[in-house]
Amino acid sequence: MAIFREFAQLCEEIEKESGKKEKARLIGEFLRQLSPEEGRIASHLFLGSFPAGRRIFVSWNTLMDTLGEMFPLSPKDLQKIGKSAVDIGEMVEGIYKRWGRYKSRGITIREIYEKLASLAELEGKGAMRKRKTILKGLLVGMDSLEAKYLTKTIVGEMRIGVKEGMVLEGLAYAVGISIGEVRKGFLLYGDIGKTVENFLSKGRTALLSLSLKPFQPLQPMLAQMAYSVREAFEEIEGDLALEFKYDGARVQIHKEGDKVMIFSRHLNDLTSSFPEVVEEVKSNIKGDAILEGEVVAVKEGRFMPFQEILRRVTRKREITRMQREIPLKLFLFDCLYADGESLIERSYEERWERLREIKGGIALAERIVPEDVEKGEEFFRKALESGAEGVMAKALKGIYTPGSRGKLWLKVKKSATLDLLIIGAEWGYGRRHNWLSDYHLACWDREKRELLMVGKTFKGLTDEEFEEMTKRLLSLKVREEGKVVYVKPEVVVEVAFNDIQRSPRYKCGYALRLARILRIREDKRPEEADDLSAVEKIYHSQ
């Protein structure tokens, strides 16, 4: 049985190692010693994640309250330890070393995972107290190193330089096969844990029985940004089609017989949130299929904002009432599998024709194959007038590439926007004095694995949203300096702006001018926020 302390020691070693190949080797050596089930668990622990987007809902305050019951902590103690710590894991390690009250009892990674999974299931009255009890039960049986990495796992901030790609590299090393074979398996398994478990169990033969089939969701194909229809024509080789880009929830629909399941772009199960979509698919799709589409909230003939879809997803207990308040419309745009045949290596043109054949009465995304740029720009204006957020440009000859972001698909929006992370916020003035309302916005520098601030904004949110955002950011608080509250980078927002200027004020060298928040991207993970290269591309395109 794999002991959690061994995992923590390995994380400490990986964090100190600068070479990517050596990090992957260390992961591979560890995975090689584990059972397939333990490998599945370890892969998620390395990333501080859970399958299918499950969250364990342990806030900073919950952690501090739990530690306060275990140690004689004063605000002064916390301030002193916190100043020398780079993250919450080091802070917890410092608390343990300061008092030296607890020792390791040899808890296994399976026990850790099962307890954390139980936290994700808790809800309703008394859930907070139960979370603290479970958390305390784990922490009292740990030494400082174990507590450090348990905490980092819980908050999803491992910061040891390990991403999904490195776990896959380690898996290839452990099993003795090529990274290409492992990546192919990952794209079809759709989950890092399932990928590790199956390859540790079956080796190379894990690929032999692996094929695209219903109810095994796969990573969605992604699009790059283009800043005009003309640029899309220039970037895509050969003929292209344009589709409305709806402001809704992208879904992957799986049907086999009378069973239908709906998955989000992050492969979360949304079936219970969209019962009318399930019935529409059952009534219209006559064979087995895997389809992609967009679920859009529509009222009185107009598209409603993306946030309305989120209300449907987050209020599962009130689904009947929400169906009346927020009616949905499904627009299909791709067919990945039909009647036993995988279509992902067929061209987009062929997949669209197959989709037309099997869609029944379900609407397809509005689409044209434009003769020239002028016809494309006319269609783009039509999309905006209809309430869509832009268009998707797709190469007619392009195959479907799960999980990758290339130039076969390009998205063109009304104006240049960036998906940025909130890394801090300032207390407002006047009417906003009780709210965190001036948000610090950052993009990634992926090469250096750091966040770079590119501007601030207090524009774009309603009073209700300011209030909700204040509560949310305070739950993510890392430290407070003067009027600025620094937070864990978890909230992704779509930001519009007039232009980008050169600026010595920020380390990245750029600043957004007249930035405003368009929406909160609940559908995006922190690591999916835009990179500095996107900022530079917009700047040079000006």
Q: Which residue from 182, 212, 183, 180 is spatially nearest to 199, judged by alpha carbons?
A: 182
Q: Which of 23, 148, 245, 413 is catalytic?
A: 245
Q: What region does 27 belong to: left with phi over 0, alpha with psi -120 to 50, or beta?
A: alpha
Copy the structure tokens of residue 24: 């992957």
Going by the DSSP 8-state scheme, the letter that residue 460 receives in this structure is S
Query: What's the CA gap between 351 and 254, in Å, rounded?
Result: 16
Q: Which residue from 388, 402, 397 is spatially nearest to 243, judged by alpha carbons?
A: 388
Residues 6+ apart with CB under 8 A from 70: 101, 102, 136, 139, 140
CA neighbours closer than 13 Å in the CB half-sphere of residue 385: 6
Query: What's the CA gap between 522 and 465, in Å, rounded?
Result: 13
473 alpha carbon, distance to own chain's centre: 18
Going by the DSSP 8-state scheme, the letter that residue 219 receives in this structure is P
Query: What's the CA gap between 162 and 14, in Å, rounded?
Result: 8
Query: What's the CA gap between 220 and 38, in Å, rounded?
Result: 27
Residue 163 burial (CB < 10 Å; 0-12/13-18/19+)? middle
Question: What letters, b where the CB count within 10 A reaches 16 and e where it falls short, cover 121-139?
Answer: eeeeeeeeebbbebbeebb
Query: What's the CA gap between 256 and 251, in Å, rounded?
Result: 16
Query: What's the CA gap between 207 and 201, in Å, rounded?
Result: 12
Sequence-ordered alpha helix ranges (H) in 408-500: 463-475
Query: What's the CA gap between 53 and 387, in Å, rounded?
Result: 30
* Active-site residue, 524 included: no
Q: Which residue from 120, 116, 113 is spatially nearest to 135, judged by alpha carbons?
A: 116
- Strand residue runs (E) in 233-275: 240-245, 249-256, 259-264
DSSP string, 30-52: HHHTS-HHHHHHHHHHHHT--GG
Q: How far is CA 433 from CA 429, 437, 483, in A?
A: 4, 9, 11
Backbone angles phi, psi at 256, to 5 degrees: -145, 120
Residues with a catalytic annotation lie at 245
